Every structure is written in structure tokens, then in C-alpha cells.
């Protein structure tokens, strides 16, 4: 008797649950990264590290950092050209490019390294990135550190022009959960504000 009722209830609940799941048009989670996905590899430690003065850029300015920073070279802003960026510790990362849907070998600096060079204070919580086309993405400072997101200056060994998502763009390792959202892969980054 008890068993019959229990069986019936279980079946009913299962049926309802399945029906509910089936009824909802739930987006499928994107497929995980390829098995050979790798984390950022250090290419060289560079010459520009945290605590060092960052000289004013000689070339074209690709990134202007402002807000809660301890290092500046133009007023309260820290202006960086590609050369400055490439003097910082360089890392390499192969990742799935979500728009082109192929693997690309990126090179650049870890955004966290950049924040350190810029003298971002511990109290800072948010990093706001703006692209040339005014596209804007906000990250939490903690996420920046934990996700090993990277500001790439090269793709497949070459600098990236604007029509190649350049000159600098944010990329994520395959393992990063943030990277699964393609909207966060902001390209043609031009400014960064720390708050």
C-alpha cells in the first residue's frame, strides 16, 4: 500500500518536473573550452613593473587610465602607448575567439599587472573599460585578479589594427567563467577608469 502510493507520487513529481523543464525554453550553456585550453604563459618579465615611473608615451596613445590610480604621466591620467604596454611583463595565451570561432594565440599584459603598474589602490572595486566605438564594460577588481583576464596587444604574433579588434582588446582564458560571456570580450579598448 505505502509503496504503491510512494511510487505514484514519485512518478507524478518526476512527470511534472520533466514537463516543467520541457516547457521552459532555456538557453543551453555554451560548450566548455577545448581540452587543450591553456592559462596565460609568461613570455618575459619586462622592464616596467609596479612602483616604477611610467614615462610619457612616445608613440600613439592606445590606453588612457584614470580614476583611483597612484601612477600618472599626464595630469591625473596615465597614458600608455603600445611600447609602454609591451615593456610590462608579457604573457601569452591561446584561447577560443568567440566571434571568429577559432583558436588565437594572444600576447599582452595581464590586466591585473596593468592595475599594479597604475598603482590602483586596494580600496578600488571597479574597473570600467570603454572602446573606440563607445562600447563599455565594467569589471570588479577582484574578478580582474581572479579571472586572469588579459589586455592583448597582439594576435597570432601581430599587432591588431582597428578592423582586427585592435589595437588592444580584452581576452579571457578558456577556463574563465567570465569569458563565456562574449559581451565581455571588449575590443578596441581606448580608456580605463578605476573607481
Partner 1 sequence: MADQHRRLGPAAGAARAGSVDPTLVLRRRRGPLQLALAGVLVVLILVVEVLILQAYVNVSRSTAIFGQVTFLTGNLVNVQREALLLNVKIEELPTTHDLQGVMLRRGLLGNQLRVMEGLGQGDARVSEALRAIDPDLRLIDSALASAEADPTEANLHAQAKRMRPAISRVIFTIKDLYDAEEQGFFGALSGTLKARSSSERLLVGLSGMVLVVGLALALSLRQRVRKDFARAYQTLTAEVEERKAAERALRASEERFRSLVQNSSDVISIVDADGGVRYHSESVRRVLGYDPAELLDGDPITLVHPDDRERVARFVAEAALRPGVTSAETWRVRHRDGTWLHTETVAANLLEDPNVRGLVLNTRDVSDRKELEAQLVHQAFHDGLTGLANRTLFSERVEHALARSGKGDLAVLFIDLDDFKHVNDSLGHAAGDQLLVAAARRLQGCLRPADTAARLGGDEFAVLLERVADAEAAAAVAGRVLDTLHQPFGLNGRTIPIKASLGVATGRPGADEAEELLRNADVAMYAAKAGGKDRYELFHPDMHEDMLQRLELEAELRHVADRDQLVLHYQPIVELVSGRITRLEALVRWDHPTKGLLGPGAFIPLAEEQGLIGPIGNWVLLQACLQARRWQDQFPDAPPLDVHVNLSGRQLEDQGLVGEVVQALETARLAPRLLTLEITESVLVSDIEAMSTRLRELKGLGVQLAIDDFGTGYSSLSYLRRFPIDMLKIDKAFVDGIGRGREDTALAHAIIKLSHTLQLHAVAEGIEEAEQAANLVTLGCRDGQGFLFSRPLATAAMTELLAKSLAEGGFFLPLTTEPLESLSG
| Chain residues that interact with partner 1, rule: CB under 8 A | 1, 4-5, 7-8, 11-12, 14-15, 18-19, 21-22, 25-28, 97, 99-102, 132-133, 161-165, 182, 187-188
The CB-of-143 to partner 1 minimum distance in angstroms stands at 23
Judged by CB, which is closer to partner 1: 133, or 138? 133
Going by C-alpha positions, the residue among 98, 143, 190, 136 that lies closest to residue 106 is: 98
The CB-of-128 to partner 1 minimum distance in angstroms stands at 20
The CB-of-48 to partner 1 minimum distance in angstroms stands at 27
The CB-of-133 to partner 1 minimum distance in angstroms stands at 5
Judged by CB, which is closer to partner 1: 59, or 161? 161
Judged by CB, which is closer to partner 1: 40, or 179? 179
Judged by CB, which is closer to partner 1: 116, or 186? 186
Amino acid at each position: 500500500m505505502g509503496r504503491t502510493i510512494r511510487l505514484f507520487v514519485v512518478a507524478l513529481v518526476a512527470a511534472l518536473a520533466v514537463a516543467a523543464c520541457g516547457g521552459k525554453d532555456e538557453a543551453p550553456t555554451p560548450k566548455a573550452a577545448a581540452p587543450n585550453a591553456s592559462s596565460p604563459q609568461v613570455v618575459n618579465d619586462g622592464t616596467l613593473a609596479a612602483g616604477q615611473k611610467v614615462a610619457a608615451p612616445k608613440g600613439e596613445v592606445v590606453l588612457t587610465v584614470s580614476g583611483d590610480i597612484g601612477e600618472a604621466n599626464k595630469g591625473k591620467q596615465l597614458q600608455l602607448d603600445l611600447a609602454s604596454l609591451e615593456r610590462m611583463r608579457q604573457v601569452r595565451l591561446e584561447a577560443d575567439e568567440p566571434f571568429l570561432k577559432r583558436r588565437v594565440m594572444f600576447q599582452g599584459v595581464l590586466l591585473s599587472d596593468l592595475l599594479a603598474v597604475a598603482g590602483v589602490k586596494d580600496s578600488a572595486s571597479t574597473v570600467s573599460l570603454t572602446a573606440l566605438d563607445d562600447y563599455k564594460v565594467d569589471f570588479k577588481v577582484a574578478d580582474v585578479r581572479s579571472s586572469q583576464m588579459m589586455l592583448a596587444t597582439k594576435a597570432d604574433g601581430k599587432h591588431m589594427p582597428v578592423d582586427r579588434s585592435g589595437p588592444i582588446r580584452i581576452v579571457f582564458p578558456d577556463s574563465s567563467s567570465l569569458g563565456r560571456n562574449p559581451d565581455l570580450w571588449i575590443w578596441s579598448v581606448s580608456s580605463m577608469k578605476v573607481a
